[in-house]
Amino acid sequence: MTAPEARIPPILLVGFGKMGGAMLAGWRELGLAPSIAVDPASPSVPGPEVSLVAGAEDVPSGFAPAAVVLAVKPQNATDTLPFYARYAGTSVFLSIMAGRTTAFLHAHLGADAAVVRAMPNTPAAVRQGITVAFAAPGVTSAQRGLCDALLSAIGAVAWVEDEGLLDPVTAISGGGPAYVFLLAELLERSAIEQGIPADLARLMARQTVAGSGALLAASTEDAAALRRAVTSPNGTTERALAVLMEGSAWPDAISRAIAAATARSRELAG
């Protein structure tokens, strides 16, 4: 099988964890020019197009990445970022570090660094993610276009003009998969409580969540309309929803949860 023609220019990926690995896999599917991944702990070789090195000092001096993708843990950013400041002026920095603002990035990479901040989510692993991004002043249209292409390789992409919106984005889409997984977990547990065998309970819960998501994605109707379509008057679903909505229990809980996560994101940003 012939490798795809390179549509993604050389990339320097700093951090080869789950999200960095998911992004790299998406780029390789599109066709990736020879690139470098930096991770001192990764035991695996990312692929034939990518050289794995342990640290910034091991990146060849002649390597000229179009983008430096910052996928390290946020708590390691202060120590890590200064080693890559040398690429300011020639590369765009695309950060997927939660809570690290563009002001923080500029403080460690230089005031003239072209910085894009993005918040992807874990369905990126199956190219079904949603990423919301913000381009700081000084990012060119070409650099924004490159970042859009890099992020589109793992799912849908949207851009905001207000960086502050990335805090609720983190709460909703960044943490959203955990809330959906909790729903599947609770459906499975409740099925077992009603006497359904464990294997069948798990299958039902997972397929119900996955199938409902696929239906939502394929439909032009909003979520409320799809919910009403499932809810027959005086039926079983209506009875269940009456419990969940009693005293606005579920809506209020979700609203409080998102507000708490948004507040925590702002706290982490410092």
DSSP for the chain, please give it: -PPPPP-B--EEEE--SHHHHHHHHHHHHH-B-SEEEE-SS--S--BTTEEEESSGGGS-TT---SEEEE-S-GGGHHHHGGGGGGGBTTBEEEE--TT--HHHHHHHH-TT-EEEEEE--GGGGGT-EEEEEEEPTT--HHHHHHHHHHHHTTEEEEE-S-GGGHHHHIIIIITHHHHHHHHHHHHHHHHHHTT--HHHHHHHHHHHHHHHHHHHHH-SS-HHHHHHHH--TTSHHHHHHHHHHGGGHHHHHHHHHHHHHHHHHHHHH-
Q: Please check the confidence at residue 231 and state whether its pLDDT lies above 50.
A: yes
Q: Which residue has the higher pLDDT, 269 or 185?
A: 185
The mean per-residue pLDDT over the stretch 166-182 comes to 96
Confidence class for position 144, pLDDT limits 50, 70, 90: very high
Residue indicated by tokens 């874990």: 122
d(CA 270, CA 263): 11
d(CA 245, CA 235): 15
Q: Give pLDDT, residue 4.
A: 58
Residue type, 200: L
Q: Give pLDDT, residue 270.
A: 67
The mean per-residue pLDDT over the stretch 100-108 comes to 96
Residue type, 226: L
Q: What is 11-163's CATH topology?
A: Rossmann fold (3.40.50)
Confidence class for position 171, pLDDT limits 50, 70, 90: very high
List the one residue out of 50, 12, 51, 59 whose CA is nearest residue 28. 50
Confidence class for position 79, pLDDT limits 50, 70, 90: very high
Q: Please check the confidence at residue 43 and state whether its pLDDT lies above 90.
A: no
Percent of all residues in the chain with a pLDDT value above 70, rounded to a whole number? 96
d(CA 200, CA 190): 12
Percent of all residues in the chain with a pLDDT value above 90, rounded to a whole number? 88
Q: What region, left, alpha or beta, does residue 167 occupy, with left being phi > 0 and alpha being psi -120 to 50 degrees?
A: alpha
* From 18-32, 36-50, 53-67, 121-135, the region with the lowest mean pLDDT: 36-50
Q: Give pLDDT, residue 267.
A: 87
In the chain, domain spans = 11-163, 176-269
d(CA 49, CA 249): 51
Q: What is 176-269's CATH topology?
A: ProC C-terminal domain-like fold (1.10.3730)
Q: Please check the confidence at residue 2 and state whether its pLDDT lies above 60.
A: no
Q: Please check the confidence at residue 19 and state whether its pLDDT lies above 90.
A: yes
CA distances to 69, 146, 166, 187, 268 from 255, rounded to whole Å, are 33, 35, 17, 21, 20
Pairing of strands 129-135, 114-119: antiparallel
The mean per-residue pLDDT over the stretch 176-195 comes to 98
The mean per-residue pLDDT over the stretch 69-87 comes to 94
Confidence class for position 1, pLDDT limits 50, 70, 90: very low
- Write the secondary structure of 79-96 as one string of H (helix), E (strand) and C (coil): HHHHHHHHHECCEEEEEC
Confidence class for position 131, pLDDT limits 50, 70, 90: very high
